[in-house]
Structure 1
Amino acid sequence: MARGFGAKRKRAPAKEGEGLVEEVEGDVLGIDIDSEVVKNEVAKEFQESKPYRHCVLKELCNEKVLRKVRDEIITNLRATFKETDIYKVLQTGDLANLDGLDKNSLGQLPHLKRLRDTIYSKEFRTFVESVAGLGSGELIDKTDCSCNIYPQGGHLLCHDDVIGTRKVSYIIYLTDPDSPWKSEDGGALALYDCIVDPKGKARKLPLPDYHPIKRLLPTWNTMVMFAVQPGKSFHDIEEVIVTDKPRLSISGWFHGEKPPEGSENATLNQILVNSKSSEWKGDSPCAAFDKVDPFVKLPSEVHADGWLSESEVEGLALYINPQYLVKSSVERIADKFVDDSHIQLYKFLNDALVDQLSKQIHDKDEEEGMFEGVIPPYESGVGGAWKMRGPTHKQRYLEMTCDAGGDLFSNLKECFGSPAFQKLLSYMTKVTLTSSRSCVRRFRPGLDYTLAHSGVETAGYQLDATLCMVEESEQWGLGEVGGYDCYMVNDIEAKGPNNASAEVYNEAADEDDETVTLPATNNCLNLVLSCEGVMRFTKYISATAPGSRWDIMNEFEITPDDDSDEDE
């Protein structure tokens, strides 16, 4: 979907043959990049900054010129809305393509073109090489940048920027010069340190901490630069909270001849590491941070034979809506599930239990300020049975890690682990359950998410049965506040991470690919049959969401029916 940014503003079109209709006055830069004093000061900041090498150039540009750049972008460029697992943003095309515009179109962007040419000039690249401690000529003549507009709700989740031959990342902020950006507006560039191994051992796969240690506001006429370091330069862009001043910037990269050393530890490679790999288990330093609970074999395979006994129905009725315990209703559900491979079962729990659960989650969210429309403290809700789950470049949410005596979610998890419930699932899906695992999760607004990664660890099939609980609100169904589950076919693993582009990694599936989106719905059980090659994620929960998303995620390894068509 294409949008004209600042569509209300009018400007007379250039006449045929006018070309550059507006004279570009004054120097573009406001700093002296030839000054040894400037270079030494910036280089010192760059080399000594924590958590990794970066610097902030203040008053980068001539004020008058930069205001005209901003005006040209708002008036004459079109931006496309993009939303995936990792970001929500309005973005223009690559500004390298300015050279291909006709004279009339280019005539509307003289200051923007001159700024782009200045940033990618040999002189400025030499300045960046000096500041970043790179060798002379190490940065190649390649233009790679675009304009990004983060409106309210816009965000970019944790990653390290390592794709291809990127060496140095930069952002030039073009936020409203007459309305200074404030911390409470959100939209900060947040820098993450890496988890330190308690034993002092070097990690094979560096992992970002749960929360950033530094926030840089998108201040007008500043430029942030940082070294692109695999498994090190972790950062995100916090959600923009303010409604009336979009976060406008030009961002891009300076490239080298070849990928940086250690690119095997880049975000993309780590996302694709199979959880069965020895990198993530046993005595690995990563295990404590990203432990994946193994599937537990069921005492005996659960088949959809016969029907539930009277005692089994009575036991399940303490939790489940009676309409889902009627054989004829379950048969209709099974028929639809076999056709679609997914289904949402609304009003799944009985009314009495839902009333209690709704009060529990509302009181907890209210106590921790989750209805205030701001990004809450990162430690909100942590304590007791609830622990943070990472790593942040793959996921962040709270998980109930032990039995919280008397907690309704603990009781419900126990019900879902019972043979009677597993038998009910087998009837509803017509599959045989062989092993299972389960966890209780909480996704807090303004903080939590999972990114797209393979939902099936081994060749075969998997049944996901996820019960969702949220505050009753139409906002969830619209998808604007996130919180939905998305399943999509992706061929990154087939291509291999070294052949994957930024678009393949970040973008949702193509139109020809199968994609299933299940909105966060209160008291709803989502059943999805998944297989190897299908990726899934839970979309980042906006700070403006009406509370947290709470769920119980049950996963089952299964055996398909003998007469099923494997290819189908």
Structure 2
Amino acid sequence: MTCAKYEYTDVLLCHDDELEGRRIAFILYLVPHWDIKDGGNLDLFETDEHGQPSEIVKSLVPSWNTLSFFEVTPVSFHQVSEVLTQDKTRLSVSGWFHGPPIDRPAPFIEPLHVLQPAVTFQNDKLGDWLNPMYIDMLIQSQIQEKFSEDSEIELQNFLKEEKYEAVLSAVKESAIKWVRKGPANKRNYEMASDTSLPGILKECIEVLKSEEMFLLLSNFTGLRLHELAPDSDSEDDMRGDDSESVKAKEETKKKEINPRCRSEVRRWRHGSYTLLHDTDTEGAEYALDCMLFLNCNGKAVLQVISCKWVCCIQL
């Protein structure tokens, strides 16, 4: 058992307690007089057809010298909601009774996201959307050097000011339909429905998913994300090979370049989060995570991070 102290803004996110033969979980509350408006409640979740947490079905308010306990199962999802009072401390003693392990169903594995090929334009739209400084080859070389050292870059004022203002205005003023994205043991934020996106935002996403953007990201990072991107190792790899071997290697490299991505428009508010999880399927594929931040310090900021995730462009 352990003792836990929750104070203003403290929270324990959704989980199921499944670990190492735990059979019964318990919490003994040692709190002063506590009201539901003080937060810090024990929230119990309902589960969906996949055994994943969906909605909170009961909230238990802590009470002095009260013992709460429940069976630990694959669907015993619960959380401690955020403590909202600044004047009280939520003290508790909690722990588990262990027993022989019992058979459990296989954990639910979320299906992989559908990846889409890069968008091809008749004309290069990057010049219409991007700050001209990021088209400069010298600047791209400097960015690549920083990325090679830090494995991440943050590019200020990435969009042209007029494009940024148009996109920001569309996000704020249009009738975008926002849908909560779960389950709560993995993520909690709002995602825009594709069918409700205004035209200017759809065009912005297409630009970010374009072949030209993949090539630009190649120049920013040194990663070969496009077949036209320079390959710094190619000369060393092929030196001394006969013409047939060189041709075969070139064909192999060309086949390996398969630019794909997915995108989401997300709205982050108080209480939003994402969590790493043992059953995440995207962790098996190396890629780039690109985030274009709006309404942060008044300018568009593009963050590019090298990580073990499928390429996800977020707005």
In 2: Cα distance, 1:175 partner to 1:525 partner: 45
Report how many aligned residue pairs link the two structures: 279
Aligned to 2:253: none
Q: Does 1:238 align with 2:48?
A: no
Aligned to 1:553: 314
In 1: Cα distance, 2:205 partner to 2:182 partner: 22
In 2: Cα distance, 1:294 partner to 1:358 partner: 27
Q: Does 1:207 align with 2:52?
A: yes
Q: CA deviation at 1:329?
A: 0.9
Q: CA deviation at 1:169?
A: 0.9
In 2: Cα distance, 1:165 partner to 1:470 partner: 47
Contact 1:409 1:440 in 2 (8 A): no
Aligned to 1:251: 94
Contact 1:404 1:410 in 2 (8 A): no
Q: How does 1:461-500 map to 2 (within 5 A)?
A: 461-472=286-297
In 2: Cα distance, 1:175 partner to 1:363 partner: 45
In 2: Cα distance, 1:194 partner to 1:147 partner: 29
Aligned to 1:159: 15
2:259 equivalent among 435, 441, 464: 435
SS in 1 for 2:259: strand
In 1: Cα distance, 2:78 partner to 2:267 partner: 20
Aligned to 1:190: 43
In 2: Cα distance, 1:407 partner to 1:148 partner: 50
CA RMSD, Structure 1 to Structure 2 (Å) = 3.0
Which structure 1 residue ranges, 5 or more long, are not aligned? 1-144, 197-202, 274-279, 282-291, 301-308, 365-382, 474-521, 536-550, 555-568
Q: CA deviation at 1:407?
A: 5.2
In 2: Cα distance, 1:164 partner to 1:263 partner: 16
Q: How does 1:509-528 map to 2 (within 5 A)?
A: 523-528=300-305
Aligned to 1:181: 34
Contact 2:117 2:261 in 1 (8 A): no
Q: CA deviation at 1:345?
A: 1.4
Q: CA deviation at 1:162?
A: 0.8
Aligned to 1:222: 66
Contact 1:173 1:250 in 2 (8 A): yes
Residue identity in the other structure for 2:3:
C
SS in 2 for 1:452: coil
Are the structure 2 counterparts of residues 154 and 407 from structure 1 closer, same or farther at C-alpha, using a change threshold of 3 Å? farther
**Identity between Structure 1 and Structure 2 (%):** 29
Residue identity in the other structure for 1:406:
P
Aligned to 1:350: 160
Aligned to 2:252: none
Aligned to 2:235: none
Are the structure 2 counterparts of residues 409 and 221 from structure 1 closer, same or farther at C-alpha, using a change threshold of 3 Å? farther
Q: CA deviation at 1:298?
A: 4.5
Q: CA deviation at 1:524?
A: 1.8
Q: Which structure carries more relative contact order (alpha carbon 8 Å, separation 6+)? A: 2
Q: Deviations over 1:155-177 (max 9, x none)?
A: 1111111111111111112222x
Query: Between Structure 1 and Structure 2, which shows a larger proportion of strand residues?
Result: 2
Aligned to 1:397: 189
SS in 2 for 1:249: strand
SS in 1 for 2:87: coil
Q: CA deviation at 1:413?
A: 1.0
Q: CA deviation at 1:470?
A: 4.2
SS in 2 for 1:213: strand
Are the structure 2 counterparts of residues 354 and 150 from structure 1 closer, same or farther at C-alpha, using a change threshold of 3 Å? farther
Residue identity in the other structure for 2:77:
F
Radius of gyration: which is bigger? 1
Are the structure 2 counterparts of residues 470 and 156 from structure 1 closer, same or farther at C-alpha, using a change threshold of 3 Å? farther
Q: How does 1:519-538 map to 2 (within 5 A)?
A: 523-531=300-308
Aligned to 1:296: 116
For normalisation by structure 2, the TM-score amounts to 0.77
In 1: Cα distance, 2:78 partner to 2:7 partner: 19
For normalisation by structure 1, the TM-score amounts to 0.45
Q: CA deviation at 1:299?
A: 8.0
Are the structure 2 counterparts of residues 553 and 362 from structure 1 closer, same or farther at C-alpha, using a change threshold of 3 Å? closer
Which structure 2 residue ranges, 5 or more long, are not aligned? 226-257
Aligned to 1:445: 269
In 2: Cα distance, 1:423 partner to 1:150 partner: 48
Residue identity in the other structure for 2:72:
V
